[in-house]
Amino acid sequence: MIRTNTLRLLTASALVMSLSACVSVTSAPAGPYKVGAATVTLGHEWSDISAIMFARPAKVRLLSMDGPLLNRLYVTDGLAPGEFMVKPMAKERPTPTYRAGMAPTELVEFVTDSVAALDYQRVETDNLRPAKVGSAEGLRFDLKAKTKEGLDISGAAQVAEVGGKLYVVLYIAPSEHYYAAELPEVETVLGSVKVG
Amino acid sequence: MPRVLRPRAKGLALLAAAVLAAAPAGAQPRAPHLRPADTSDEGGIWALSEKAELAARQSAERNRDPALNGYVTGVVAKLAPEYQGDIRVYVMDRPFFNAQMAPNGYGEVWSGLLLRVETEDELAFVLGHEVGHFSENHSIEAYRALKARLGATMAVQFAVAAVAMGAAVNAGSAQGASDIMRAAGALNDLLYLGQLAAYFGFSRENEVEADGLGFQRAVKAGYDPAAGAHLWRSLIAETGASSFKRVREQEARVSIFSTHPLSSDRVKALDDLAAKTPTKASAAADRKAYRAAVRPHLAAWLKDDLRRRDYGQSLALIDRLSAQGEDLGVLTFYRAEAYRQRRGEGDLELARKAYAQAGAHADAPVAAWRTLGDLSLQAGDRPAAKTAYETYLARAPQAQDRWLVEASLKKLSEGSAT
């Protein structure tokens, strides 16, 4: 049973996004959730809020339980060199871009700078560790940040390069209650990434 | 410098000189410790400004270093002793050149500005400019002029929208960010100061008048008369170095300057004023003193500046700051970071050289060695990669990526790293 209150979710969403008449929040039921070549397994139903999220490229999907201000789970298809997680709003204000040949720490930087481009402040990483994504070597790390209003945010991220493309799973939520509430589910999702 | 001074620009130059020469004749400075009646138009604008101030005080972007805030407040106190207690300036960590002051005396100075000024004299000129808007009630003047022209209802809508924009910037909603980015995308950072300098778009005359008042306040407080013109000139040069054609070309677009004097006019008017005033001789010592005040934040502000991803501007700024000969480990490291992140043709090799140069200075961030290792490995220079990684581990034994660097070293020793 989904915990999301759809009305509350939409109300919260409306505060931070432009809604058009032809987009909607949909269900992402428990089980396999496919984003292009990537598939993750959801342990319970989420709301797919991709269609109403601001500055989202087509290869990035966004799930939430309680609304985008309270928890966000980004899952990307493979980003090719030159692609990004956050769509730039103007040519003069580019967002972080994935490039071929990035060192592992540059992949971490790509994610943290993307989180900063989503308007989070003072983004820091911790606990960088190896991760397996299928047969590929990936990286896991934790994040700390703040909203502009000063709310503490925690995050968990995983990146892996497969076939020259970058696959990212990123979870961010307020440190108080919301982050821990979904962390066991997110750990399962992070461990379930399959490519191809 | 602007590449074109068009006939209309020459007219604006004359206007700028005339307004500066006249300022502050005819002006009626605000009385110290004034608080307008709640029921007055100014009282209403104060109430809105107080809400924006509350948001700024609570913002995660607020720099809470007491030494830095105390330093900035001290400069304001020297410039405007009569308004002691009336003006409150908060330092905000935002990588754009901006200072602003609301009608209620709440002001902000952004880290992008503090990073770019080179002396306390230049900071004093900008803060004096903002005090000039405050003391001359430019916001209220603009509101009343608008009210006379458009009628009370429209003017109130304008005031609410203008203050709300300031509040949104502080509140940090996605829409607020969007407004910032639109403003910054449509204007260069120099104009950004003018546009966001307060909650109202000041008239061209108000801006020039505030330049003149800032100059007068700064000189009266003992600051260098040439500082204002030097700062504007530096910013014009940096704008001209932008990676983006649109930003570079905006300098010469007259339509963008429709409500503000061309930067070159403001520089010339300030040059003319400075020429009539005895100059200060201790610029090098002043630069050292100012750098000492901002040094604890230099690395963080440079990192923030790179997140604007206008590497042309960042590199021009780093060149300018490096000319002082101090903080070369930090500055050269961020020069290397700019090349690495830009990744244009030849940039990775430039980055590699710059990381190595940074490493020769004691203040270089330890990450210089890890990144030098990564880039040397990519370039096929295995001995250099090994040395850099080993230096990194020796200098940062507790690094969270130690396991990653050790794995790279292991592959190097096995001959399998590429």
**Domain of residue B391, CATH code:** 1.25.40.10
Q: Do A147 and B171 touch (CB under 8 A)?
A: no
Q: Is residue B92 part of a domain?
A: yes
- What is the radius of gyration, based on Cα positions, of chain A? 16
User: How high is the pLDDT of residue B204?
Assistant: 67
Task: Determine the Cα–Cα distance for residues A79 and A83; give it in Å rounded to an integer.
Answer: 6
Q: What ipTM describes this predicted complex? A: 0.88
Which of B401, B409, B411 best tests the A interface by mutation, with the highest count of A CBs <10 A? Answer: B401
Element containing residue B100 per DSSP (H, E): strand B99-101
User: How high is the pLDDT of residue B192?
Assistant: 34
The total number of structural domains that make up chain B = 2
Shared domain for B199 and B169, answered yes or no, is: yes
Find the Cα–Cα–Cα–Cα dihedral B255, B257, B258, B261, rounded to 10°.
-150
CB distance B124 to B79 below 8 Å? yes
> Residue B139: pLDDT above 80?
no
Q: Is residue B286 part of a domain?
A: no
Which of B:316-355 have CB within 8 Å of A? Answer: 340, 343
Chain A residues touching B172 at Cβ < 8 A? 119, 121, 147-149
> Residue A80: pLDDT above 70?
yes
Which of B303, B310, B341 best tests the A interface by mutation, with the highest count of A CBs <10 A? Answer: B341
Residues spanned by the domain of B391: 298-414
pLDDT tens for each residue of B79-109: 999 999 999 999 999 998 888 888 899 999 9
User: How high is the pLDDT of residue A22?
Assistant: 56
Q: Is residue B291 part of a domain?
A: no
Name the residue with higher pLDDT: B68 or B260.
B68
Which residues, at least 6 apart from B14, have a Cβ–Cβ distance to it below 8 Å? none
Best-predicted range by mean pLDDT (A13-27, B72-86, B278-292): B72-86
Q: Is residue B289 part of a domain?
A: no
CB distance B370 to B392 below 8 Å? yes
Facing A104 at nearest CB: one of B60, B182, B404:
B404
Chain A residues touching B186 at Cβ < 8 A? 90
Shared domain for B245 and B386, answered yes or no, is: no
Confidence of residue B241 (pLDDT cuts 50, 70, 90): very high
Strands (E), chain A: 26-28, 31-35, 38-42, 46-48, 60-64, 72-76, 121-133, 136-146, 152-162, 165-174, 194-195
pLDDT tens for each residue of B293-308: 999 999 999 999 999 9
User: How high is the pLDDT of residue B98?
Assistant: 82
Output helix, strand, coil percentages for chain B, rounded to the nearest 5. Answer: 70, 5, 30
Shared domain for B218 and B326, answered yes or no, is: no
Facing B378 at nearest CB: one of A101, A128, A146:
A101
For chain A, which residues lie within 8 Å of any Cβ of chain B, measuring from their own Cβ? Answer: 15-17, 54-55, 89-96, 99, 101, 103-106, 113, 116-117, 119, 121-122, 125-130, 146-151
Shared domain for B385 and B252, answered yes or no, is: no
Chain A residues touching B60 at Cβ < 8 A? 121-122, 146-151
Shared domain for B83 and B55, answered yes or no, is: yes
Shared domain for B50 and B186, answered yes or no, is: yes
Q: Is residue B287 part of a domain?
A: no
Shared domain for B265 and B303, answered yes or no, is: no
For residue A189, how far is the Cα from the chain centroid?
A: 12
Task: Determine the Cα–Cα distance for residues A185 and A183; give it in Å rounded to an integer.
Answer: 5
Q: Is residue B2 part of a domain?
A: no
Task: Determine the Cα–Cα distance for residues A136 and A138; give it in Å rounded to an integer.
Answer: 6
Q: What's phi and psi for B114, nearest 5 deg?
A: -60, -30
Which residues, at least 6 apart from A78, have a Cβ–Cβ distance to it below 8 Å? A36, A37, A38, A59, A162, A163, A165, A166, A167, A195
Confidence of residue A104 (pLDDT cuts 50, 70, 90): very high
Shared domain for B304 and B275, answered yes or no, is: no
Q: What DSSP line would sit under B252-317, residue for residue?
A: T-GGGGTTS--HHHHHHHHHHHHHTSPPPS-HHHHHHHHHHHHHHHHHHHHHHHHTT--HHHHHHH
Q: Reduced to 3 states, what is the DSSP secondary structure of residue B8?
A: helix
Residue with tokens 């759809």: A6
Facing A90 at nearest CB: one of B58, B176, B181:
B181
Q: Which residues pair with B90 in a beta bridge?
A: B108
User: How high is the pLDDT of residue B258?
Assistant: 32
Q: How many CB pairs under 8 A join A and B?
A: 89
Shared domain for B178 and B322, answered yes or no, is: no
Q: Is residue B382 part of a domain?
A: yes
Shared domain for B387 and B273, answered yes or no, is: no
* Other CB atoms within 10 A of residue A43 CB: 15
Of the three residues B213, B245, B280, the one that is the final residue of a domain is B280
Which chain B residue's Cα is nearest to A116? B307
SS3 track for B342-395 = HCCCCHHHHHHHHHHHHHCCCCCCCHHHHHHHHHHHHCCCHHHHHHHHHHHHHH
Q: By CB neighbour count within 10 A (0-12 exposed, 13-18 middle, 19+ buried), where does B417 fall? A: middle
CB distance B221 to B125 below 8 Å? no
Shared domain for B221 and B303, answered yes or no, is: no
Domains detected in chain A = 6-195 (3.40.1000.10)
How far CA A118 is from CA of A87, A99, A113, B408, in Å, comes to 10, 19, 9, 32
Chain A residues touching B370 at Cβ < 8 A? 105
Facing B174 at nearest CB: one of A99, A119, A128:
A119
pLDDT mean across residues, chain B: 80
* Other CB atoms within 10 A of residue B279 CB: 11
Name the residue with higher pLDDT: B197 or B292.
B292
Task: Determine the Cα–Cα distance for residues B329 and B354; give it in Å rounded to an integer.
Answer: 10
H-state helical runs in chain A: 6-16, 104-117, 178-191
* A44: closest CA of chain B, how far (Å): 29
Q: Is residue B290 part of a domain?
A: no
Facing B60 at nearest CB: one of A16, A125, A147:
A147
User: How high is the pLDDT of residue B404?
Assistant: 96
* B330: closest CA of chain A, how far (Å): 19
B309 has a chain A CB within 8 A of its CB: yes
Edge-first strand order for the sheet with B106-110 is B88-92, B106-110, B99-101
Confidence of residue B20 (pLDDT cuts 50, 70, 90): very low
pLDDT tens for each residue of B168-210: 343 333 333 343 334 333 333 333 333 333 344 566 677 778 8
Facing A113 at nearest CB: one of B58, B182, B307:
B307
Shared domain for B266 and B408, answered yes or no, is: no
Which of B:165-224 have CB within 8 Å of A? Answer: 170-178, 181-182, 184-186
Q: Do B181 and A93 touch (CB under 8 A)?
A: yes
Which of B404, B406, B409, B418 best tests the A interface by mutation, with the highest count of A CBs <10 A? Answer: B404
Of B97, B91, B104, B101, which Cα lies nearest the Cα of B127?
B101
